[in-house]
Structure 1
Amino acid sequence: MHATTSARQKESVRVGPHFSEQTFDFLEELEHRNNREWFEEHKPTYELELKARMLEVIEAINVRLETFAPEHLRPAPKAMLRIYRDVRFSNDKTPYKTHLAANWPRQGLEKTGGAGFFLQVGVHGVMVAAGAWSPGSPQLRAIREYLLDHHDELRQLLAAEPVTRLAEPLDGRPLLRAPQGFPAEHPAADLLRVRSWALISRLPGDAALGDDFVDAVAERFQALAPLVDFLNVPLSTVTPLEREASAGRRNVTVGR
């Protein structure tokens, strides 16, 4: 009887994918030996203890997203960001990132800067984020115009208990004054000055070693999902052409 009960208790424990001590040993060493020779020599460890584990974590998160954010489901290989850095326009020429990361944008808004979910795992800790990080000028304008009539709704979302309990207060890198073309005396004036619409939750690196790691990430994603949904209403109106124009990729005039 006791053996049967113990077996049932073990079956009830949810064991989720997570990272290992070798994962963090690799990333810590990579911070000091960020060169192709060292990476290639240790690539089998990267494939097994970092890439494979990250893909398993993403797959498990996808299962959770299906219950509260199905529009953000993404194949694990596409959700996982490359560890290789783009050094073309950077003074830092080290070839590799020293963390693992994945993102889940809204389906159909990948090319226009839609809001989404983000996970980063590194030796200095875990970052779970959601929203729109440093959106471009067309995206910011769309959000600001939407806030003129929907600022009360956003304030309620930001004040919700799961958000205040699990995420840091919105920083937003606000402007000192109202953006051009928007009223300085509007009730949403403080929100109109915000330039970055991402909420962040930080966890210690050890959190990624536990069987409940995916539970912790999914809990934070679910708490922040209403913000993502709110932002994607105005962001869905931005076109790929507007985004490219704001980045200087095409010589066109964008309607403001």
Structure 2
Amino acid sequence: MTFSGFAASDLAFLTGLAANNDRDWFTAHRAAYDEGLKPGLAALIEDLNPLLAARGLPLRGDARKSQFRIHRDVRFSNDKCPYKVHVAATVSRTGPDGEWRKMSPGMVYIHIEPEGGSRAPVLDFDPDSIDPLDPSTLPSARGIAPDAATEVKPNDEGDYSGSGPFVAAGFWLSERPNIDAVRRAMVANPAAYFAMVEALEKAGLELAPGDPVKKMPRDFADQSGGPLDPALKRTRWIVRRRLTGAEIGSDALPRVVAAFAADARPLLEFGWKALGAGTGAGAAA
């Protein structure tokens, strides 16, 4: 299957799911997911793989394994809605043992939902009248759409949905040894770190705040007040780019994602070098 873009009616299913997040509604309308969104995401990954390889990027995805489940894990969540209102996947590199891992540190994350966000309120779900590719029909047209320059942030449950489609790249690290490995690389070669940041900025990318800690980590106390101070307080290193409705509805989306991954390459290579061959998997958004 060749990727041809996400259909307007399939994307509108996500808007409807946000307004009717229950098993009965999902079951009655799930054809849009099973026959549209899920195979569409698989086709996107399959078309993306050769484009990444052609750019010399050691990233790839698996049409099935790269995708995240649409079912939410509600065991430890106050929000008991059973379904996510977006679809998402990752492309990543192989682990130190040569095996491909979905969550290998230094990945590209693809987040698909209607432009303006799936969580925008709707009075009635009607795929024939809600066209995510036509801004005048979007639920967001009834309110204030997110500023394109505003960072995409997770809600209290760690869910990034609700702000529209985007692609992100970098290191969602959860293990302290991995976080400190990146920090040590920054201290060992500050020039390389700042050159990486400059290369990202030239490509129009800016590091997200990175869930910083308030105090300088003890092992790096001697760097307090220095040029690396704010950078060393980061716990994640991520860049993001918003996607438009036209982009996610077009067969050009794999090329858009591949170009973004190439622009994010300085960050990925800096982190991969810092983590070396013995790192474990980090946590993803």
TM-score range, shorter chain: 0.7 to 0.9
Q: Distance in 2 between matches of 1:176 and 1:97?
A: 31
Query: Once superposed, what is the RMSD of the aligned Cα atoms?
Result: 2.5
Alignment partner, residue 268 of structure 2: 228
> 1:144 is matched with which residue: 175, 183, 189?
183
Larger proportion of helix: 1
Q: Using a 3 Å threshold, how does the CA distance of structure 1 residues 217 and 239 change in structure 2: closer, same or farther? A: closer
Q: How far did 1:175 drift? A: 3.0
Q: Which runs of 5+ in 1 are unaligned?
A: 1-14, 245-256
Q: Residue type of the partner of 2:216? A: A
- 1:94-243 alignment to 2 at 5 Å? 94-108=81-95, 110=101, 114-123=105-114, 124=117, 125-160=164-199, 163-182=201-220, 183=222, 184-236=224-276, 239-240=279-280
Equivalences, count:
228
Give the TM-score, by structure 1 length.
0.80
- Which whole-Å deviations, capped at 9, do the CAs of 1:182-206 have from their partners, x for residues lacking one? 0225542232111221111112233
Structure 2 residue 55 is matched with structure 1 residue 64: no
8 Å Cα contact 1:112-1:239 kept in structure 2? no
8 Å Cα contact 1:121-1:127 kept in structure 2? yes
Q: Distance in 1 between matches of 2:260 and 2:111?
A: 13
Q: How far did 1:42 drift? A: 1.6
Alignment partner, residue 6 of structure 1: none
Give the TM-score, by structure 2 length.
0.72
Q: Distance in 1 between matches of 2:237 and 2:248?
A: 25
Q: Using a 3 Å threshold, how does the CA distance of structure 1 residues 165 and 237 change in structure 2: closer, same or farther? A: closer
Structure with bigger gyration radius: 1
Q: Distance in 1 between matches of 2:79 and 2:32?
A: 25
Alignment partner, residue 249 of structure 1: none
